[in-house]
Amino acid sequence: MAKKDLKAQNSRTVAAIIGAGVLAAGAAHLGLSETQTWRLALLSIGGAGAAAPFAVWLTNLLPVAWKHKLAFFRLKNEMAGHRVVDLCARDPRLTADSLREKWPALFNADTEIEIRNSLWYDLIYRPVRDKPEVVQAHRSFLLYRDCAGGYFVLLTSSLAYALASLLSALPQIDIVIPLLFWLFFVLLALAAQSAGNRMVVNAVAIALDPPKSNPKGSPEPKTDSG
């Protein structure tokens, strides 16, 4: 399944997750007692509904490489495939000997980390990218990555506005708003890391030992330890 299709499937969920965060930040800023009125509640919901698609649009403007760096908190060799050896070493389904035997170019100790992600992509991911375990992990990774990118946009925007309000007559915002956006960004980035790591090891496990068919011709289920 193409990445574009997975992103399209995630679009509404991304908007909902970002909208929920905007609504929570607005409620925290206005105060619980004030948000209990119907008028302010409706205004908050409307503001969240308007801000969420805008944040998604801004997220799509971020280069993919930047979103990966933000999700993994790394400036270099950020993709999970660069750490495929370490990730597989922690997975009970896999053994180092079997991995080196099947893909010596990738799992050789002398292989540079800079090329491991591309090797994993070409040798392992491509042949199994349509397997359900890989597709689901990939979809989750894209979802959390894009949500983290959206909250990073909101975080930087709120900080920029806070700075501008200190230097001008603009109304000031509560510090809780950028703090909430930072918290949501970190949590979603950690979720993206987990999904990305799971996608890597699931692809390796399936490529190493493809599911066998039972007597009725249905594939035997493969346990996902991630």
pLDDT tens-digit readout, 67-87: 999 999 999 999 999 999 999
Residues 124/207, Cβ–Cβ less than 8 Å: yes
Q: How far apart are CA 140 and CA 134, in angstroms?
A: 10
- CA-nearest of 16, 18, 6 to 136 is 6
Give whole-number Cα distances, 95 to 90, 103, 155, 208, in Å.
Answer: 9, 12, 42, 10
Q: Give Cα separations from 59 to 39, 64, 66, 80, 150 (angstroms).
A: 30, 10, 10, 21, 5
Phi, psi for residue 213 in degrees, rounded to 5: -90, 140
Question: Which amino acid is located at 55 in the chain?
Answer: A
What does the chain come to in residues?
A: 226
pTM of the model: 0.82
Q: Decide if 81 contacts 123 (C-beta within 8 A).
A: no
Amino acid at 17: I
Q: Which carries the bigger pLDDT value, residue 142 or residue 41?
A: 142
DSSP H/E element including 160: helix 132-166
**Rg, the chain, Cα only:** 21
> Please, what's the largest Cα pairwise distance for the chain?
75
- CA-CA distances (angstroms) from residue 157 to 28, 72, 162? 18, 21, 9
| pLDDT at res. 39 | 54
Average pLDDT of span 6-14: 83
Please say if the pLDDT value at position 59 is more than 70.
yes
- Ramachandran angles phi, psi of 187, nearest 5°: -65, -40
Domain boundaries defined on the chain: 53-208
Highest mean pLDDT among 2-16, 184-198, 200-214: 184-198
pLDDT of residue 223: 42
Question: Quick check: 37 pLDDT over 70?
Answer: no
Please tell me the predicted confidence (pLDDT) of residue 51: 64
Q: What is the mean pLDDT of the chain?
A: 83
**How many other CB atoms are there within 10 angstroms of residue 212's CB atom?**
8
pLDDT of residue 158 exceeding 90, the answer is no
- The least confident of 3-17, 35-49, 86-100, 202-216 is 35-49
Query: Which residues, in sequence order, are CB contacts of 224 under 8 Å at separation 6+?
Result: 133, 198, 202
Least confident of 31-45, 90-104, 206-220: 31-45
